[in-house]
Amino acid sequence: MPPALASRLTPSPLLARLKALAHGFWTTGLVAGGRVSSREIGRAALGSAVGILVASLVAHALAPGLPALGLIAPMGATAVLVFAVPASPLAQPWPAVAGNTVSALVGALCARYAGDLGLAAPLAVGLAIAAMFALRCLHPPGGATALLAALSGVEPSFALSPVLMDTLVIVLVGVAYNRLTGRAYPHTLPLRPAAPAPAGAPARFSAADLDAALAHYDQVLDISRQDLEQLLQFAESAAYERKFGELRCRDVMSTPPLTVPFGCTLEEAWRLMRERRIKALPVVDRAQRIVGIVTVADFMKHADFASIEGLGARLRSLIRASGLTHDDKPHVVGQIMTRQVRIASADRYISELLPLFSEAGHHHIPVLDEERRVVGVITQSDLIRALHRTVRAG
């Protein structure tokens, strides 16, 4: 492609930034990409309506002199948080009650002492946010409550009635309604959450790593640290199981398999194991069907490894051919092999073999085809390589 044409087709940095800005404006405000069930939408909407209704009834009964049914506009925002996102740290009872009440008090005090309304309004919002941070009760509707109090010039008692009263009612209704509809509110986590990672899955990050990332991000997240950690762990676990779970034995096994016949001499089998640096050899018949497996442990067992002294001499004596036609000494692998062999089919998922390697103590598993012919061998090294590839791909 000519350079002039390529430069015309390549978007300019300014255009790319404008597109990114437009995407940011139109991105959905729902974490799940907008995929919220109609049932959840109805649950949140009905709960918010019930909360506001009960708050107005209680306010009318306890303080009938309050205007507008005893409600203020920020209570609608509080209802959205309590009923629509009850897991949010900003929606919990302490942030809701303390955030609204403190902000109302700050706004009323600013209206009284700031003098000028143009100064009182911004000062009320800024000080309310600072106070909520200091008291660990950040609640977005608190900013609106502070602004309303400053603009209206209300007395400090406004923080108690209707603000504290309305918020308490909405929170109490939220506790009952959310639990009746299957939502935990207040949102709490078990003290010792179950680890979602499957057995054998590598730990990709620690709690300290997450703390460092949050400190680097240095912004308020509308999700608790514990929820975020569990969410990341479950996502990592799902990705791990998806990627590793797709692997089958034929994708991991070592091929072509090195096998020996039943009549292979012990000396030849030992030489092969030393040269190839392997610890096991499948033993096959003439049709390449498995009949057993010979391992280093089989050699050691027949060399009486219970006594370390003189083990090398006994092993050499076992391996070396005696030259006699009749003796009690084994000569071929068929005489010392293990006949009961743990095997796997080529189509078997590799994840199913993890317990055999990690718990049952197996180190080598022959892989067979449909006719029970040996087509490969899976070793611990093969399994580690597969795990490494899975983690690196992630």
pLDDT tens-place string over residues 157-183? 999 989 999 999 999 999 999 999 988
Give CA–CA dist 344/378, Å, rounded: 9
Q: Would you state the pLDDT for residue 327? A: 67
What tokens were used for 322? 């005696």
**pLDDT band, residue 231 (cuts 50/70/90):** confident
- For the cut 90, the answer to whether the pLDDT of residue 37 exceeds it is no
More confident residue, 320 or 42: 42
Give CA–CA dist 236/227, Å, rounded: 14
Task: Work out the average pLDDT over 284-312.
Answer: 81
Q: Would you state the pLDDT for residue 393? A: 56
Rounded percentage of the chain residues whose pLDDT exceeds 90: 32
CA dihedral 77, 78, 80, 85 (to 10 degrees): 130
13-22, 283-292, 306-315 — most confident range:
283-292
User: Residues 54, 18: contact at Cβ < 8 Å?
Assistant: no
Give CA–CA dist 147/103, Å, rounded: 9
- For the cut 80, the answer to whether the pLDDT of residue 205 exceeds it is no
Cα atoms in the Cβ-side hemisphere of radius 13 Å centred on 314? 13
**pLDDT band, residue 184 (cuts 50/70/90):** confident
Cα atoms in the Cβ-side hemisphere of radius 13 Å centred on 53? 6
Give CA–CA dist 292/286, Å, rounded: 13
Phi-psi region of 352 (alpha: psi -120 to 50; beta: other; left: phi over 0): alpha
- For the cut 70, the answer to whether the pLDDT of residue 225 exceeds it is yes
What is the b/e burial string over 383-393, where b = at least 16 CB atoms within 10 angstroms of the residue's CB?
beebbeebeee
**pLDDT band, residue 302 (cuts 50/70/90):** confident
Q: Would you state the pLDDT for residue 339? A: 87
Q: Can you list the positions of beta strands (E) in 192-236?
A: none
Q: What is the residue-averaged pLDDT of the chain?
A: 81
Peptide bond into 67 cis (omega under 30): no
Find how far residue 235's CA is from the centre of its chain. Answer: 4
Report which residue type is found at 313: A
Q: Would you state the pLDDT for residue 325? A: 59
Q: Which residues contact 142 (CB under 8 A, 6 or more apart)?
A: 74, 99, 100, 102, 103, 128, 129, 132
Q: Would you state the pLDDT for residue 26? A: 54
More confident residue, 332 or 387: 332
**Residues β-bridged to residue 289:** 373
**Domains of the chain listed by start with CATH number:** 35-180 (no CATH), 207-245 (no CATH), 250-393 (3.10.580.10)
Q: Would you state the pLDDT for residue 123? A: 96
Give CA–CA dist 245/249, Å, rounded: 11
What tokens were used for 155? 């007395």
- For the cut 80, the answer to whether the pLDDT of residue 292 exceeds it is yes
- For the cut 60, the answer to whether the pLDDT of residue 143 exceeds it is yes
Q: Which residues contact 196 (CB under 8 A, 6 or more apart)?
A: 230, 233, 234, 237
**Residues β-bridged to residue 7:** none
User: Residues 184, 87: contact at Cβ < 8 Å?
Assistant: yes
Give CA–CA dist 358/383, Å, rounded: 11
**pLDDT band, residue 301 (cuts 50/70/90):** confident
- For the cut 70, the answer to whether the pLDDT of residue 71 exceeds it is yes
